[in-house]
């Protein structure tokens, strides 16, 4: 195994583990049917912007699978896939905006676009699950789609904004972190 591949595997493991730890640090109120404001997305986006799409998706998959091990809410196998592996895998899509080899951090606008795109995909995953399986918890007379829309936006928007602020801060104050270099 070459050094660069081993380094990437170690970075993925460290970022997935960090994401798991950060998922337990929650801000604000706890939502009744899952969802919370945490820093879980930060390591996934960091590795995606550093290493690209494939590595970001792999890290997100691992984070989703680790979430399944640490107290999931499961009502159906498809809901399990939507709310755990898929919801975190799609965050790796931001990696299509990764810095090119040898380049410093992506521009702030690129980070924002990547975060908006990937978080929107995560929202769609949770929204679909909410409409199909958690719509029964909507207040009487409320459309399950409207309930799922507001429920999921209530924690994903603040979480995305906090993640965005941290990534922009890191890109400005420590752009070398996003720079990949060949180890060979």
Give pLDDT tens digits for 151-178.
999 999 999 999 999 999 999 999 988 8
Q: Are 130 and 148 in contact (CB under 8 A)?
A: yes
Q: Flag whether 42 is in a domain.
A: yes
Length of the chain: 184
Provide the domain limits for residue 102. 3-178
Q: Flag whether 21 is in a domain.
A: yes
Q: Flag whether 109 is in a domain.
A: yes
Q: Flag whether 183 is in a domain.
A: no
Q: Flag whether 118 is in a domain.
A: yes
Q: Flag whether 54 is in a domain.
A: yes
- Distances in Å between the Cα of 41 and the Cα atoms of 103, 139, 163 are 23, 30, 7
Q: Flag whether 49 is in a domain.
A: yes
Residue 8 pLDDT level (bands cut at 50, 70, 90): very high
Q: Write the CATH number for 34.
A: 1.10.1760.20
Q: What number of other Cβ atoms are within 10 A of residue 73's Cβ?
A: 15
Q: How many domains does the chain have?
A: 1
Report the C-alpha gap between 141 and 166 in whole angstroms. 39
What was the pLDDT predicted at 113? 97
């Amino acid at each position: 195994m070459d050094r660069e591949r081993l380094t990437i595997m170690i970075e993925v493991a460290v970022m997935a583990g960090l994401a798991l730890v950060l998922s337990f640090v929650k801000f604000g109120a706890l939502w009744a049917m899952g969802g919370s404001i945490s820093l879980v997305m930060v390591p996934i986006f960091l590795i995606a912007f550093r290493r690209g799409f494939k590595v970001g998706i792999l890290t997100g998959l691992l984070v989703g699978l680790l979430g399944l091990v640490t107290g999931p809410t499961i009502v159906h196998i498809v809901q399990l896939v939507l709310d755990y592996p898929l919801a975190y895998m799609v965050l790796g899509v931001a990696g299509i905006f990764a810095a090119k080899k040898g380049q410093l951090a992506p521009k702030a606008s690129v980070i924002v676009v990547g975060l908006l795109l990937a978080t929107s995909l995560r929202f769609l995953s949770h929204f679909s699950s909410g409409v199909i399986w958690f719509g029964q918890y909507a207040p009487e007379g409320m459309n399950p789609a409207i309930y799922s829309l507001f429920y999921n936006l209530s924690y994903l928007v603040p979480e995305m904004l906090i993640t965005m602020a941290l990534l922009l801060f890191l890109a400005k104050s420590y752009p070398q972190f996003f720079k990949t270099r060949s180890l060979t």
